[in-house]
Structure 1
Amino acid sequence: MKSAEELQQKLYYLLEQLQEMARKLPLQYQQRMPYELLSGLANCLLNETIFKIVEGLTEIQQVTEKQLLQQRLKLLHKHRAEKETLAKKPTNSNSDAEREQVLANHSDELKQADMNLILQLDQLVADQQSTLEKAGVPGFYSTNNPQEVKVQMYLLEFILKLGKESELNSS
Structure 2
Amino acid sequence: RATQVRSGGRGGPLKWPKSRPRSPRQSACSSFQQRLSYTTLSDLALALLDGTVFEIVQGLLEIQHLTEKSLYNQRLRLQNEHRVLRQALRQKHLEAQQACRPHNLPVLQAAQHRELEAVEHRIREEQHAMDRKIVLELDRKVADQQSTLEKAGVAGFYVTTNPQELTLQMNLLELIRKLQQRGCQTGKTAL
Q: Which residue of 2 aligns with 1:139?
A: 156
TM-score, normalised relative to structure 1: 0.82
Deviations 1:59-80 (A, max 9, x none): 0000100000000011011111
Paired residue for 1:112, among 125, 129, 139? 129
Query: Partner amino acid for 1:137?
Result: V
Q: Match of 2:35, SS?
A: coil
Question: Which protein is bigger by CA-based radius of gyration?
Answer: 2
Q: Which residue of 1 aligns with 2:119?
A: 102
**In the TM superposition, what is the alpha-carbon distance from 1:86 to its structure 2 partner?**
1.7
What CA RMSD, in Å, does the superposition of the two structures yield over aligned residues?
A: 1.6
Q: Which residue of 1 aligns with 2:3?
A: none
Paired residue for 2:174, among 144, 149, 157? 157
Q: Which has the higher contact order (CA 8 A, sep 6+)?
A: 1
Query: Partner amino acid for 1:59?
Result: E
Q: Which residue of 2 aligns with 1:70?
A: 73
Segments of 5+ residues of structure 2 without an aligned counterpart are 1-24, 98-108
**In the TM superposition, what is the alpha-carbon distance from 1:38 to its structure 2 partner?**
1.5
Higher share of residues assigned strand: 2
Higher share of residues assigned helix: 1
Range that drifts further, 34-43 or 113-122 = 34-43
Segments of 5+ residues of structure 1 without an aligned counterpart are 1-22
Distance in 2 between residues matched to 1:55 and 1:123, nearest whole Å: 18
Q: Which residue of 2 aligns with 1:3?
A: none
Confirm or deny that 1:79 pairs with 2:82.
yes
Q: Which residue of 2 aligns with 1:129?
A: 146
**In the TM superposition, what is the alpha-carbon distance from 1:24 to its structure 2 partner?**
5.0
Q: Which residue of 2 aligns with 1:148?
A: 165
Range that drifts further, 33-42 or 99-108 = 33-42
**In the TM superposition, what is the alpha-carbon distance from 1:36 to its structure 2 partner?**
1.9
The alignment of Structure 1 onto Structure 2 pairs a total of residues equal to 149
**In the TM superposition, what is the alpha-carbon distance from 1:25 to its structure 2 partner?**
5.8
Deviations 1:106-131 (A, max 9, x none): 00000011001100000000000000
